[in-house]
Amino acid sequence: MLLCCASVGAADLTVSAASSLTQAFQEIGAQFEAQHPGTQLKFNFGASGALAQQIIHGAPVDVFASADTDTMDKAVAKAAVHAADVKIFTTNRLVLVMPVSAKHTMKQLSDLKKPEVKRFAMGVPASVPAGNYTQGALEKAGVWTELQPKIISTQNVRQTLDYVVRGEVDAGFVYASDAQLMTDKVKWAFVVPTAIPIQYPIAKVTSSSNAREAEKFIAFVQSALGQAVLKKHGFGQ
């Protein structure tokens, strides 16, 4: 009877979040579960655009956390989330990183035109926010068209980071929080200026079957404890 009651009281909460949040959300999730016995978190990490499309097309998700506001706005436009439920919970910075063994140096985006830079990785702009930010920065610097032959497209920032770590590209555009994960394998070239701040929104999904727990998780992410974990993993306020 006790097992039966425990099963009835248990709740699964599915959270779809940008891949750059993987380590931070896994740690936040463990702390949330410890404080909310009976609730089990299930994470689905990936490119924000791809996750949004899954939700829009009916994937059973309770909470959506995106790496940019544009993707969340698209989810709002499709009624996948309500605008009133959207909260900005953290920020990030775009950085250019290189393999730690790289001999060349880069101080500005135009340095990607150097002959020693054969290939660089970036997320697909249409579905990866980091890729969208990167394209905007390269266009503003006037080098986007010229650099097309050197681009290696990736499905998310973690794939970009992996390419740099393995030395398969000469550089890659990732978030500061991602670069912090591999300080022994990649080195920062510089912080890339973006036209708009890199803000991460989170929201309860409209079709959530566990809205109450979803709201509790979102509040926990915004709490002092959740913010401390994000800061530890390289995110901003």
pLDDT of 9 higher than 50:
no
Q: Is pLDDT of 34 > 80?
A: yes
pLDDT at position 11 is: 78
Average predicted confidence (pLDDT) for the chain: 94
The 10s digit of each residue's pLDDT in 102-145 is: 988 999 999 999 999 999 999 999 999 999 999 999 999 999 99
Query: For residues 169, 187, 197 and 49, what is the CA-based torsion angle, rounded to 10 degrees?
Result: 40
At residue 10, does pLDDT exceed 90? no
The whole-model pTM stands at 0.87
What is the SS3 assignment for 216?
helix
**Cβ-based neighbour number of residue 20 at 10 Å:** 32
Closest by CA position to 55, among listed 29, 73, 30, 75? 75
Rounded Cα–Cα distance for residues 100 and 194 (Å)? 24
pLDDT at residue number 104: 87
Q: How confident is the model at residue 3 (pLDDT cuts 50, 70, 90)?
A: very low
Is the model's pLDDT at 7 over the cut of 90? Answer: no
- Give the chain's domains with CATH numbers: 2-91+198-232 (3.40.190.10), 93-192 (3.40.190.10)
Q: With 90 as the cut, is the pLDDT of residue 79 above it?
A: yes
